[in-house]
Amino acid sequence: MMPSNCPPQSPLSRREFVSNAFALGAGAALPVRGAETKEVGRLGPIVGHTEETMSFLWMRAQAAGEYVLEVTPENGGAAKRIAAQAEAAQDLCLHWRVEGLEAGSRYRYRVLNGEMVIAGDAEQVFATAPKAASAGKVRLAISSCAKEDAGSRAVWKRMAAEQVDAVMLIGDTPYIDSTELEVQTRRHQEFAAVPEYQELLRNRPCWWTWDDHDFAGNDSSGLAVGKENSRLVFTRYRPQAAYGDGKEGIYTSFRYGPVEVFMLDARWFAMTEASYASPVKPSLLGRVQWEWLQEKLLASTAPFKLLACGMIWDDKENKELDDWGSYAHERKALEKFIGDHKIPGVIYVGGDIHASRVLKYPTQKAVGYDLVQFIASPIHNSTIPSLNVYHPDLVRSAVEPHVFLVMDIDSTVTPARLSAELVNKDGERVFAYQLDLSDLTPA
Ligand SMILES: [Fe+2]
């Protein structure tokens, strides 16, 4: 897919230029163009979307060519080998889709280029998702708003130390503030180059969605010019199983043992069409994403269902429009849908506001139970105390840098339980909040 707003006559980008230089002759001296020509080393490998029997692995190669991913069961058995081509036209990003795996099993992997082992660290091990049909426990790390600073790096280390099974990054991960292809590409590279980030994600899956700063800029909506570039780079750097409907948006979902997570895209479609919930108001999710979400929610058999996006699910009460408070008509439609279909276990997750909160809404009448929202932000060091506003439904809050939620979801107990702790980079527990599935079951 070509980005629609690329100048047709633009000279080769720095990235294409460097890639071509490699393609023409590995080892040839690179022309130097001042500070601009910083060489991008190998990025990754990291683990992306992972299910019971399938996993995506990702790497950005240093040079064009064929790269073979070799995956071997940790307990022994035959290796699978999957070849992929690193091409300059795709910014040398490699996506391998590994199929035919066993649920709840561990696999070693390495990357080869011909006879040469490109990435063969002993820590390159991942586990497939536990069987959804059996009772199980999983531990997720969830947060938003990360930079490449020492504090963010300490958070990646702490997430690994907490031995989370999977990671969800829900926007401003990273900060880009541009839809230019060059800027999007450079920022994704810089973010992916952080060693602690690579170490965290080389042995557990990650899912991402974007918020305003990685999509286009502060308080941006789907009207942002050049958003096709942001989506193109996202599809290169984020190993997901699906990106929206394949043409628009980046929403996706995954089942991981006792939880199903819906990574919503609250940017691409926002303000671009009239709302499915009210024809005189703008849409947030857009009709195509709303139809997808309804279908997936109805089909879900997971005890807990997380609806995650960068935006918070209420009003920030500042001048900005990018929150569900500006689209209350769509939140109301969603809650009516959950209530009408008696869907248990739904939980809201948001980020963005550089403060962390838990809210419990009196939604008995519409939904059949009280909905809870968890807000986790920021991974970096910059908090915004003024966004930790009064709300009658607030049950926890903290204005604390370098934080993430550790969410333990356990269906081996009855009723199934979700225990969340807000943890900082030093492992300190900032607050905790627990829910039983019986709290989230319509009467
Ligand atoms: Fe942020």
Domains in the chain: boundaries? 14-126, 131-440
pLDDT for 384 equals: 96
Q: Which two tokens stand for residue 323?
A: 């929150």
Identify the CATH class of 131-440.
alpha beta
Q: In one letter, which amino acid is 361?
A: Y
pLDDT for 238 equals: 98
Ligand 1 centroid – CA 68 distance (Å): 37
Question: pTM value?
Answer: 0.91
Ligand 1 centroid – CA 380 distance (Å): 9
Ligand 1 centroid – CA 352 distance (Å): 5
Ligand 1 centroid – CA 353 distance (Å): 6
pLDDT for 359 equals: 98
pLDDT for 299 equals: 98
Cβ atoms within 10 A of the Cβ of 427, count? Answer: 10
Ligand 1 centroid – CA 215 distance (Å): 12
pLDDT for 39 equals: 81
DSSP-derived secondary structure letter, 205: B
Ligand 1 centroid – CA 148 distance (Å): 13
Q: What is the C-alpha separation between 323 and 353, in angstroms, rounded? A: 10
pLDDT for 443 equals: 82
Ligand 1 centroid – CA 113 distance (Å): 38
pLDDT for 38 equals: 65
Quickly name the fold that domain 14-126 has: Immunoglobulin-like (2.60.40)
pLDDT for 77 equals: 94
Ligand 1 centroid – CA 270 distance (Å): 18
* Contact (CB, 8 A) for 134 and 125: no
Contacts of 36 (CB under 8 A, 6+ apart): 14
Q: What is the C-alpha separation between 310 and 331, in angstroms, rounded? A: 15
Over the chain (443 residues), what is each successive 10-residue block's mean pLDDT? 38 35 35 54 97 98 98 96 98 98 98 97 98 97 98 98 98 98 98 98 98 97 98 98 98 98 98 98 98 98 98 93 95 98 98 97 98 98 95 98 98 98 98 98 92
Q: Which two tokens stand for residue 401?
A: 């840098």
Cβ atoms within 10 A of the Cβ of 409, count? Answer: 27
Ligand 1 centroid – CA 157 distance (Å): 20
Ligand 1 centroid – CA 382 distance (Å): 9
SS3 string, 124-137, reads CEEECCCCCCCCCE
Ligand 1 centroid – CA 175 distance (Å): 8
Ligand 1 centroid – CA 213 distance (Å): 7
Whether the domain at 14-126 and the domain at 131-440 fall into the same CATH topology: no
Ligand 1 centroid – CA 141 distance (Å): 17
